[in-house]
Amino acid sequence: MRISRKYAFVAAAGVLLSVSAVSGAQAQDSGTAPRYQPEMVRALATSLGVSEKAAVERLDQQAAQQARLAGLAKSGISADGAFFDAAGKLTVNADDAAEAKKVEEAGLAARVPARGETELDRIKAKLDTLAVERVPAGVASWRVDLVSDTVTIEVNSDRGTAAKAFLAEAEKYGSAVRIVRGQEELVPQAVIYPGSRMTFNGFICSVGYGAHDRNGKQYLVTAGHCVQDLPVLSYDNARFAKATDTRFALGSRSVDMGVAAIDAGNSIATSVGTWGNSSPVAVRGSQRAASGAALCKSGQTTGWTCGKVDSYNVSVTYTDENGGPDTVVTGLGSSTVCTEGGDSGGAYISGNQAQGLTSGGPTGQQCTGGVNSRGSSYFQPLDDALSYYGLTLNTN
């Protein structure tokens, strides 16, 4: 995390070079382009212990189920959250048995949860407010977890007064809250590829995605902590952009998104680099993947690593390794994708849909297993950043 001038970091998306998304893997017929990025398919096959053919089938099934989910709202069928289970089946939360029957008739699995996403969001919002009043140092993260139908809180240490007060308030919600202890401290990570490295004022960070406003002006969307002081950004020792806004502020409740205006004559590519694992992957859109969906990221430090989406609406407490105040960041996504310091701003992709930007992860995490390194990380959802800044993603 770029918290002081003493901490160098790099982002992870193609600066002028390559911002990308994940395309697919299997060539369908000889001479035709693959549906999915090949490395994602291999990584998914390895992690599931299945053939690459079965992995492609799973991606196809996920895409089909997500399309049916999108069609529910158009049909007037409400859904209170949805998630993929370990078998790749999408389950939709329904308000009651009648709604569940409609969901099943639409070809999807349904359940009537004890709480559901709306109620869990309400509980988490109250915890967010509490955390703003007093940062709960030692409480690593808290999130809405649809699979367990709880607000899940991960704790590094509950010895501090603020942490004890936070957990005591959380426990008042009974079984709606699940507390997991023994977690590592979290720090935001910054160190640039869908691409290359981005530098500023002696620091390094990663480039995220290219986007444009209604007038066609070009912007870089990246992790907010990477552009905290609104610096001039350089690629290969030459200026290419100037940061214009960030929602990250050390020691304050923050959102880890920021933007920079791209200088005339420069551009960010619409494909994500895979660090030698395959050809760059074209960005086709930014439709948010459901929890449990396959996910890969491109980053300066750890390259191309893959896993799956865990949860959305996650809040974390980031620790400043340089002794500064802790910072609560809200609105993140969590994943099983391994990252390390210097990956901040890196591009997350599911299928060929851009998902987000690396925000942070556990302090001592090491991604030594290549593409399939086991680990965890947090990312700023791209669709939220695009919406907030009124931008449209540049697609291939």
Mean pLDDT by 10 residues, the chain (396 residues): 30 23 30 70 80 90 91 86 90 94 93 96 95 89 95 90 94 96 67 56 81 91 91 81 94 94 84 80 91 90 90 93 87 94 88 93 88 92 98 92
Type of residue at 144: V
What is residue 44's predicted lDDT score, i.e. its pLDDT? 80
**Cα–Cα distance for residue pair 100/194, rounded to 1 Å:** 41
**Cα–Cα distance for residue pair 360/344, rounded to 1 Å:** 7
Phi/psi of residue 5, nearest 5 degrees: -70, -10
Are residues 10 and 198 in contact, defined by beta-carbon separation less than 8 angstroms? yes
Length of the chain: 396
Please give the order of strands across the beta sheet that includes 218-222: 203-206, 197-200, 232-235, 238-246, 258-262, 218-222, 209-212, 392-393
What is residue 19's predicted lDDT score, i.e. its pLDDT? 21
Using CA atoms, how far residue 38 sits from 15, 44, 135, 305, 352, in Å, is 23, 10, 43, 13, 12
| Enzyme catalytic residues | 225, 256, 344
Count H helices, E strands: the chain? 6, 23
Tell me the Cα Rg of the chain: 20
- Reported pTM: 0.74
What is residue 185's predicted lDDT score, i.e. its pLDDT? 75
What is residue 33's predicted lDDT score, i.e. its pLDDT? 62
Residue that the structure tokens 């869990």 belong to: 120
Type of residue at 245: D
DSSP 63: H
Strands 271-272 and 82-84: unpaired
